[in-house]
Structures are given as C-alpha cells and as structure tokens.
Structure 1
Amino acid sequence: MRAFLAVLAVLGLALAQGVVKGLTPAEVERVLKQANLAYEKTEAQEFRLEMAGLTKVWLFLDYCQEERCGVLTLSAGFTLDEVPDLEAINAWNRDRRFSRAFLGEDGTVWVESDLDLTGGVSLGAVAAFLDLFAEEILPDFMDHIGFEP
C-alpha cells in the first residue's frame, strides 16, 4: 500500500510541474518566443503581437497579484470605412464560443478572447490559446467583418 501511495505522490508531482496558475511577464515572453511570435513589450503587463497578417494584436495580463497574472487577454481592433451593425456583432457573439466582439466608442470593431489560468493550465494550453486566436479566431473574424490585412 505504501509503495502504491508513493507512486501516486511521484506521479502527482510530475503532472503538477506542467501546470501553471498564473504567469509573469517574463514567462509570457518565453511562451511567445517558443511560439515563434513576433512581439514587443509595450508596458509592464502588455505586449503587441504580430498574428494573422496583423501587426497590432494586443496581449494583456490581468488579474495580477504582484508579478503573477491569472488571466491572459488577446484582442485586436479594426477600423473600417463601413462599421458593421450591431446585428453582425451580435451574430458573432451568438455563433462563436471562444471569443467576443464589440464596437468601441470610436467605431473600432474589436474581437477578444480570454484564458483563465487561475484553476491551473499547462503551458501547452497557453500555446494552444495563442494558436487558436491566430489561426482561427482572427481569420474568421476578419472575414466576418470584411477586413483584409
């Protein structure tokens, strides 16, 4: 029985090493480098990324306690000659699960997505979050609003 418990304890420690419940800005930079994303740190908890042919995609770290932050938010804003109506924005929000769209006060059309780290996620899940936004959400949203980079 003790051997079984020891194996469970070691297995638990091995699995726990791959899980994070928050990231520091330096850890986010390492993840961005591993994902081969071009980026610039613009503020202490903010990065400008290049994704999906865009040069201004924002990554914000939120819900921070000291240096460790529990929420990552990706967002991109689009200025269009013809602003989509609220019906088009609502259709995006109704039909999509992992992002939300809204109109800014200045008429900019935004799409955002959050990743909550506080319950614990793997660094692979963080990389998958970045990939989902770059490879699916942004291209689909640009098509939805008629934007070409």
Structure 2
Amino acid sequence: MISVRLFAVPALVALLGAGPVLAQQSLNGMITGNDVDRIAELARAYGTIERREDADGVWLRGEMDGIVYTISFLNCNDAHQECTSVQFRAWWESNGAHSMDRMNQWNRDRRFSAAYLDANNNATIEWDVNLAGGVTATNFDDSIQWWQAVVRQFREQVVDPGFEAAGMAPSAPSTSATPSAPPAARSK
C-alpha cells in the first residue's frame, strides 16, 4: 500500500512554493482586454514587466526565467480598446540555427502554443489567450503559469539544442522592442 505521505509532501511543497506568488497579488475579479495594468500586475509576479506603447497601441515587455517576451493586445477596436485577446510571444535570433522541421515537430506535439520561424528566420513561440467577455483573474494567472512552462520547454527542447547543433552557444532571447509581425496583427 502506498503511503498518503508520499502524495502529501509533494503537494505541500508545491503549495508552499506557490505561496509567495499568490501572496503578492489578489486573484479576485475579472480580466478583460482593457485591463492592461491588471495584466501587468499579474505578470509581474513571475518576473519584470513594463508597459510600452507604439502606433498599434499598448503592449507589455516582460522577462521571466531569463526569457524576454511580449504581451500584445489583439482584436481591438480602432481606438486600440475593447481588445478580445492577448498574445504572449518570445523569439530568439536564430542565425540559421533552427529549422522548420523542429518548429513543425513542436507544433505536432503540443496542444498549447505555436512555434515558427518568423520573417527573419528567428525561432518564435506564441501563446494566445481569449479574453472575450472576460476571464477570472485566477484563470488568467493560470494562463501565465502555462506560458512560463511552455516557453521554458521551448527554450530547453528547441532553442538551446538548435544552437548547440549549429555549434553556437545558446543565445539569450531577442531584446529588440517588438518581434517582427504583420502590421495588422494587433487590430481586428
């Protein structure tokens, strides 16, 4: 017979490990595409985050676990408001180290996220979150946790091995202001 303690100890450790994150923020209320500051607050529990703005509207630049990423507000009205989704994105300047085959394999094996080589052949991963009608703060925080797990796995299983196979040192993610994307990607 398996002891209940074998299950209780890992569960307790996981709960205590999540404690500081949960203690830093309130997970009450709803999140919509207009809640830029609230989304930044939730993301800040996992690393640095800063608000930025350009001609396409407001977006967030974050860093967690040494990985730079952005959160873009999508499907917005002409005033860049009432956005119904957000997109998490991270990318690495590949310099030819990553292949379409690896991106396709990632996409075949994963339910959450999409990986591709962008217009500059940079290894890129995205994660879309639907906010139409709003989601609970707890749900959005869970999405951030999924993003953290997915982007870590992408770095460990695709990015770093690609650089190593090409005889390059694993690279830090791109720190450029925004990833290359079609200009219409943020609007309806």
Q: TM-score, normalised by structure 1?
A: 0.76
Percent identity between the aligned chains? 23
Match for residue 103 of structure 2 among 89, 103, 114 = 89
Is structure 2 residue 50 aligned with structure 1 residue 50? no
1:24 equivalent in alignment to 2:35: yes
Moved over 4 A (4+): none
Instruction: Give the secondary structure class of the aligned counterpart of 1:69.
Output: coil
Q: Determine if contact 2:31/2:140 at 8 Å carries over to the other structure.
A: no
Distance 1:98-1:119 versus aligned 2 partners, 3 A rule: farther
- 1:65-80 correspondence runs (5 A): 65=77, 66=79, 67-80=81-94
- Aligned counterparts of 2:93 and 2:103: Cα–Cα separation in 1: 14
How far 1:102 sits from its partner (Å)?
Answer: 0.6
CA RMSD of superposed structures (Å): 2.1
Which of 145, 153, 161 lines up with 1:140 in the alignment? 153
Question: Do the aligned residues in 2 keep the contact of 1:104 with 1:110 (CA within 8 Å)?
Answer: yes
Greater CA drift, 65-74 or 121-130:
65-74
Give the letter for the 1:71 counterpart.
S
Of 118-127 and 102-111, deviating more is 118-127
TM-score, length basis structure 2? 0.61
Shift of 1:24: 2.6
Determine the C-alpha separation between the residues in 2 that align with 1:142 and 1:20.
Answer: 28
* Deviation (angstroms), 1:124: 0.8
Q: Do 2:46 and 2:64's aligned partners in 1 also have CA atoms closer than 8 Å?
A: no
Per the alignment, residue 114 of structure 1 pairs with 128
Where structure 1 has 5 or more consecutive residues not aligned to the other structure, the ranges are 1-16
Q: More displaced, 80-89 or 107-116? A: 80-89
Question: Which is richer in strand?
Answer: 1
